[in-house]
């Protein structure tokens, strides 16, 4: 009996040691979901020293200089819900250039709006082609995902490619940042955001205005989703109030502090 018990202990020990060496949850553990405590009293938020160091290593940016009252408007477009034209009208009236991070679906389904963005001087960002969790992909798969978007962008518009990117749902890891760098992409996250992506949960323009004005701070990179009627309705008042407070509006290209080299690439056709 004691021999069987000893054999059982040995087998159990081996299985436990194998589990520690295999680390089945490592891939999940290294995922980073972008987010932090919201800004208040016009004080920029902080991501923390560890995350700041990782972002700096790969030229990734989530806010501008804290001593300059400049705001950078960015929009994520996964699909069209009828409000992007209104947002573009507001930006044109206020003479503001923004960045629109698009998916492949948006490129295909809303090509006229994409062309309008380009014609009116807005920047197109790469939000991936199929909106996957990039942190679950290999570096080669990540590159192909971003390149697939760029190749389709070139086919449908006058642009050759994008140089700024943002991971779907703000989920990333170091490989995502590094893979993007290797094909000349710089990551831009955000320092102002709120729940605005539920198209069936309209809260009104005042809701969007309140969220934006409460979080306002120098160097803010604002994330909004164009599917929201709240954003379309609240954006004009926010811009006017921000200007009254002495803020101006810039483009995230002005924050290209990393000076990344942009290699030439294309996917096999």
Catalytic (active site) residue 122: no
Average pLDDT, integer, range 215-229: 96
Catalytic residue among 122, 131, 217, 225: 225
- Cβ-based neighbours of 253, under 8 Å, separated by 6 or more: 123, 164
Give tens-digit pLDDT for 112-130.
999 999 999 999 999 999 9
Catalytic residue among 76, 150, 173, 233: 76
Six-digit token string for 238: 């926010």
Which among 165, 162, 171 is positioned nearest to 262, based on CA atoms?
Answer: 162
* Residues pairing with 187 in the sheet: 165
Angle at 39 between CA 259 and CA 46, to 5 degrees: 50
Does the predicted TM-score (pTM) go above 0.95?
Answer: no
Q: Is the pLDDT of residue 25 over 50?
A: no
Catalytic (active site) residue 150: no
Average pLDDT, integer, range 170-180: 97
Neighbours of 199 (CB within 10 A): 14
Of the listed ranges 10-19, 54-63, 113-122, 166-175, the least confidently predicted one is: 10-19
């Amino acid at each position: 009996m004691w021999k069987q018990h000893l054999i059982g202990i040995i087998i159990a020990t081996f299985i436990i040691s194998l589990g520690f060496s295999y680390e089945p949850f490592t891939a999940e553990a290294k995922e980073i979901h972008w987010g932090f405590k919201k800004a208040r009293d016009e004080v920029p938020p902080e991501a923390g020293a560890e995350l700041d160091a990782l972002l700096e290593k790969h030229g990734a940016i989530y806010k501008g200089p804290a001593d300059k009252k400049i705001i950078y408007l960015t929009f994520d477009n996964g699909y069209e819900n009828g409000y992007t034209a209104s947002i573009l009208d507001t930006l044109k009236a206020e003479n503001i250039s923004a960045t629109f991070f698009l998916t492949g679906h948006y490129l295909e389904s809303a090509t006229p709006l994409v062309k309008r963005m380009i014609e009116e001087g807005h920047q197109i960002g790469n939000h991936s082609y199929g909106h996957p969790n990039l942190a679950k992909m290999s570096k080669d798969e990540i590159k192909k995902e971003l390149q697939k978007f760029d190749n389709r962008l070139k086919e449908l518009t006058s642009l050759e490619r994008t140089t700024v990117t943002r991971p779907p749902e703000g989920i990333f890891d170091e490989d995502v940042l590094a893979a993007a760098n290797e094909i000349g992409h710089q990551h831009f996250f955000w320092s102002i955001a709120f729940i605005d992506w539920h198209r069936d949960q309209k809260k009104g323009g005042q809701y969007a205005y309140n969220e934006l004005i409460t979080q306002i701070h120098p160097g803010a990179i604002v994330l909004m989703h164009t599917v929201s009627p709240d954003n379309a309705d609240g954006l004009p008042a926010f811009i006017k109030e921000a200007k009254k407070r002495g803020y101006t509006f810039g483009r995230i290209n002005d924050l290209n502090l990393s000076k990344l080299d942009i290699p030439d690439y294309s996917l096999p056709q």
